[in-house]
Chains A and B, each alone.
Chain A
Amino acid sequence: MSLHRREVVASLLKGRKDLLVIAGLGSTAWDITAAGDSPLNFPLWGAMGQAAMTGLGLALAQPQRRVLVITGDGEMLMGLGSLATIGVQQPRNLGIVVIDNESYGETGMQATHTAGGVDLAGVARACGLRACSHEKILHEAGPAFAVVKVLAEKIPLVLPPREGALLKARFRRALLGPQADLT
């Protein structure tokens, strides 16, 4: 556990091209923003537990595009059932990376279940996802799943735009073109 989360996320998004990115609320939303804000980022500011499902909906709607969900261990733990749902749907273009600092980072660094031995990659594997290393997540046939253990560090916030309707509209416009505003 010597990796820095910002470096891990920056390496995931380096040369991202047309990658579509969903981030779970809290630290991972700040991480993808620190790597460079993009209209093709959808950082959640709420809906804890729904990052992976949002990625599933996007992956099914855009089967020709690669979708990457980057979320935290606490957020993933709140949506464990979604791994079963994703395992049944088998989207080939979806990858999920859990940035695991074994802590609830926004609320005082309380320990999550992963600090107590819960193996998220094991859960994902049992649900029919392909567990792999985070370095391979964009190349592995989906649904791919990686856990990266990172340092539990307090680092500066790098905030994306806050307004949900704005984040939605800019994502759709960037992905679907100006026509998105008219449908």
Chain B
Amino acid sequence: MWPDQIHAELAAAKVRFVGYVPDAGHKRLIELCQADNAMRTVVLSTEEEGIGLAAGAWLGGERTVLLMQSSGVGNVVNVLGTVKECRFPLVSIVTMRGEEGEFNPWQVPMGQATRAVLEAMGTVVHRPASAEEIAPAVNAALRLAYHSYASVAVLIPQRVIGIKSFQEQANQ
């Protein structure tokens, strides 16, 4: 499963902290990170806090990955400016809403704007097209971020997550 493969990539890259605001699409990955003694998960009040967390951890010599839903990208816009100005390495793994088969119209505006917003703030965007392409995309994002001091986001398509209704989401 792709969440297990992402976890293996994070572990291999010695990611120490995983900051997250939960999303149904990230449920499995969050559980894997919580069960990993080499990682410390930090639940956030809002996604913006994850940028401060990652910046502080990097000042202290440790790697952080952020997990969020596409709606959360809207909450980090200003602080991505700090990431760019300071050249903090940052990997964000974003589960998409508001695209293929969305069932909540309120998710659509931010979902449709996610890539443009990230790119406008200088974040490199990888968007794997299928489940098989996710782990290689995360691997590439980790290398780009930590070898080149870049902010990189991996967008996981809603089609791959495959939740099609409120009921299905509630059953996660």
Contacts and interface: CB of A to CB of B under 8 A. Distances in A.
Interface stretch (B25-33, B51-59, B123-131): B51-59
B56 A57 contact: yes
B11 interface: no
Contact of A60 (B40, B45, B88): B40
A89 B54 CA distance: 15
Interface of A: 20, 22, 42, 44-62, 65, 79, 81-82, 84-85, 88-89, 163-165, 167-168, 171-172, 175-176, 180, 183
28 contacts: A45-B85, A46-B82, A47-B82, A49-B48, A50-B48, A50-B51, A52-B52, A53-B49, A53-B51, A54-B53, A54-B59, A56-B42, A56-B53, A57-B53, A57-B54, A58-B57, A60-B42, A60-B53, A61-B16, A61-B57, A65-B60, A79-B52, A81-B44, A81-B49, A88-B43, A89-B42, A164-B82, A168-B86
B69 to A, nearest CB: 17
A74 to B, nearest CB: 15
Contacts of B61: 61-62, 172, 175-176, 180, 183
Interface residues of B, number: 32
Interface of B: 16-17, 40, 42-46, 48-62, 64, 78-79, 81-82, 85-88
B49 A79 contact: yes
A164 B45 contact: no
Nearest to A88: B43
Contacts of B50: 53
B103 to A, nearest CB: 28
Contacts of B52: 47, 50-54, 56-57, 79, 82
